[in-house]
Amino acid sequence: MRYFVVGLVANLLAVASTLSAQPNEIVLGAPYAPEGSFSDICAQQISGENSNLPLSPASDDWFRIYEAGPGVYSIVEPYQFQETISHLIVGETRALLFDTGMGFLPLRAVVERLTNLPVTVLNSHTHFDHTGANAEFDSILAIDSDYTRANMAGFDNSAVAGDIAPDAFCEGPPVGMDVAKFTVKAWQATGYVKDGDVIDLGGRSLQVLHVPGHTPDATALLDADNGLLFTGDTYYDAELWLFVPETNLDDYERSLARLAELEKGANYLLGAHRSARVGVGHLAKVKQAVSKLRSGNYRGEPGSDEPIVFVIDGIELVTAQTVLDGSLYDDAKGGSGLTEY
């Protein structure tokens, strides 16, 4: 889950937290204060990093599909502020769909334009903007956790209201979407995976990496032979959200350290928002920024769960004092990505 912030970067640069805190210096987080609407910057977002990748002819008015690597189709939803990305990874005998996006329009037909192989879904985590079309598929792998099972129940319209508001879209919702009736439908895992499992797609193997932190069930994939590291919401090319109650910074920091090591042997990172593919080196920088964030020098209002933003060495981190304090959350409650304490 991520959120766009129009004009926020400029505000933050003027406020503070753009430089690392000096010893014993306290840096207060800038309040999250979005201005304007996503439509104000939509054209600029669509013409970003993804424009350097081949655009698949299977693209349509809602889904822009980029060929992000050999046998990798990155299905981007750029006309809504999440700019969610689902990655279809194709082997010789099977394909894996890593996330299913927002669910505003049917996704299965899009996938079937790209491959006629059997498709299995695995989510990078189970926030609603990554499981929106899970219910369309009959083969779904998942991390076996209380958090994941809770989120299988789906999310009603009120739980996702902020993501379907008029200013969440470039030029309104996609044709064919009934905003008033939109829900994320319930789905069921047909199998479970754990850290270290290998998914064989026929001539292509993907290693499952359980990387909790952003959520308890956060998952990454390593395609070592092709030098591809799929990072989900642990890293993507935008402001990183570490604000919701289910975020655990202890876990996140450990997962970053692990992925930063794997990054050394990769050629590209493929996150779950905005840019389908970026070069390597980012994870090491985020690891360093998060370490500084947790030094005790970066703070918000005591006990507050309001989102605050720090820009540390160029990395934008959105968090809350409750998360910095390590406040506990009952994972069995699940979480949409918009959940509050």
pLDDT above 50 for 9: no
Question: Which one-letter amino acid corresponds to residue 169?
Answer: F
Superfamily of domain 37-280 in CATH is: Ribonuclease Z/Hydroxyacylglutathione hydrolase-like (3.60.15.10)
Averaged pLDDT for residues 253-281: 98
Would you state the pLDDT for residue 136?
98
pLDDT above 50 for 3: no
Report the mean per-residue pLDDT for the chain: 91
Q: For every residue of 45-103, which 3-state class applies, written as one string?
A: HHCCHHHHCCECCCCCCCCEEEEEECCEEEEECCCECCCEEEEEEECCCCEEEECCCCC
Q: How confident is the model at residue 17 (pLDDT cuts 50, 70, 90)?
A: very low
> What separation in angstroms does the CA of 286 have from each of 2, 94, 238, 283, 292?
16, 34, 12, 5, 10
Averaged pLDDT for residues 147-152: 98
More confident residue, 341 or 145: 145
On whether the CB atoms of residues 99 and 232 are closer than 8 A, the answer is yes
Would you state the pLDDT for residue 49?
85
Phi-psi region of 306 (alpha: psi -120 to 50; beta: other; left: phi over 0): beta
Would you state the pLDDT for residue 32?
75
Would you state the pLDDT for residue 4?
43
Quote the tokens at residue 308.
């605050």
Q: What is the pLDDT of residues 56-110, one digit of tens each?
A: 999 999 999 999 999 999 999 999 999 999 999 999 999 999 999 999 999 999 9
Which sequence spans correspond to the domains of the chain? Answer: 37-280
Sheet with 315-319, side-by-side order of all strands: 30-31, 308-312, 315-319, 240-242
pTM: 0.93
On whether the CB atoms of residues 239 and 309 are closer than 8 A, the answer is yes
